[in-house]
Structure 1
């Protein structure tokens, strides 16, 4: 693990500014998500609470269809991975990538805050079990992919509008290998979300919510 962290640090140390910007947008998104739940109307909270209880009941009473779940998890991740990568191939993609970072943070903040706010202390366990395991992998991969795409988009922008932009960015050497590593890690996260998290959610739901 230390070797991997050191390798990642060496790989991305020249893009600290991009990391900082991505983290700022991601954290802002989380903050917006937290405050959205805090100031949500009571009727909306009631609807979400009812939906949550129907979800936990269905988990308990129906077997998990792992095939459908795997498809949905892959689709959910592809819908954010591919746009970020494609935007990196354009000269105007950087601002949109940062907006996607904001939305990703918002989704996590909203979900986590909703569970804790609605179920108070008991919601912490479910929030941790349902969100944390796969996101321990997703979030670093998401940030790394955003940094790579920002670098590619910026390089294209400089190449289009500035002559010195034709100088190749050393960070983009071996970018395919970086993307392959990120894809492999995303795949591990998908497997965790599909085959491990549902069982953990079922256990916690049976223990505390049903």
Structure 2
């Protein structure tokens, strides 16, 4: 495990520019999400407020179906993880990867900001319980995966269109070991989102909404 973590650290040192670009896109997405909620129309905000209120009450009073929740959480992550990796195998994938990072950041910023603003002071606890625990693991994983895929796609682009640039084949040799670490961390995040976050959300909902 230490060997695999060292491989990820080496990737960070070698690919600082990619980390910076991915992080900028992710932060821009979060900012767009925050501002979208701020300037949302009254009717849209009212509809979403009613939805979240119903959700808070239902999750606070009904038992969680962990089997269905686990399936949904895995599906949600796979639908983002696989496209990012597959785009890294193409020479044109880099811009799309950055767009996906932007959308991921937007979703996170929008969700967190809406819950906080909608429920005012009480919303902070609900937002922290529903968004933060799993994303403490997800976000670094998404960033690391995006950096690896962005690097692969860029190298393929250089190899195809810039013949004088030598492709750094040694980078590709360590991709598999890096992906193992990311998959393990993703699995931990999935378990947290499935089995820990619902209990936290239920506690907050019962404390403040029921």
Task: Establish whether TM, by shorter chain, passes 0.5.
Answer: yes
| Larger RCO (alpha carbons 8 Å, 6+ apart) | 2
User: CA separation in 1, counterparts of 2:59 and 2:178?
Assistant: 37
Residue matched to 1:193: 193
Please give the residue correspondences for 1:18-33 in structure 2 after superposition, counting only pairs within 5 Å. Answer: 18-33=18-33
User: CA separation in 2, counterparts of 1:161 and 1:130?
Assistant: 45
Asked if structure 2 preserves the Cα contact closer than 8 Å seen for 1:14 and 1:171, the reply is no
Please give the residue correspondences for 1:172-183 in structure 2 after superposition, counting only pairs within 5 Å. Answer: 172-183=172-183
Asked if structure 2 preserves the Cα contact closer than 8 Å seen for 1:34 and 1:110, the reply is yes
Structure 1: 5+ residue runs without aligned partners? none
Residue matched to 2:109: 109
Asked if structure 1 preserves the Cα contact closer than 8 Å seen for 2:87 and 2:97, the reply is yes
User: CA separation in 2, counterparts of 1:6 and 1:120?
Assistant: 43
What is the CA distance between 1:10 and its match in structure 2?
3.1
User: CA separation in 1, counterparts of 2:124 and 2:36?
Assistant: 18
Q: Count the aligned residue pairs.
A: 209
TM (norm. structure 1) is 0.94
User: CA separation in 2, counterparts of 1:4 and 1:82?
Assistant: 21
Residues 39-74 of structure 1 deviation map (CA, whole Å, 9 limit, x = unaligned): 001111111111111111211232110010001100
Asked if structure 1 preserves the Cα contact closer than 8 Å seen for 2:115 and 2:127, the reply is yes
Asked if structure 1 preserves the Cα contact closer than 8 Å seen for 2:7 and 2:177, the reply is no
Asked if structure 1 preserves the Cα contact closer than 8 Å seen for 2:84 and 2:149, the reply is yes
What is the CA distance between 1:9 and its match in structure 2?
3.4
Residues 94-144 of structure 1 deviation map (CA, whole Å, 9 limit, x = unaligned): 000000000000000000100111111111111111111100000000000
Residues 181-208 of structure 1 deviation map (CA, whole Å, 9 limit, x = unaligned): 1001000000000000001000001001
Residue matched to 1:74: 74
Structure 2: 5+ residue runs without aligned partners? none
Residue matched to 2:51: 51
Asked if structure 1 preserves the Cα contact closer than 8 Å seen for 2:4 and 2:177, the reply is no
TM (norm. structure 2) is 0.94
User: CA separation in 1, counterparts of 2:77 and 2:36?
Assistant: 23
Asked if structure 2 preserves the Cα contact closer than 8 Å seen for 1:92 and 1:153, the reply is yes
User: CA separation in 1, counterparts of 2:23 and 2:169?
Assistant: 22
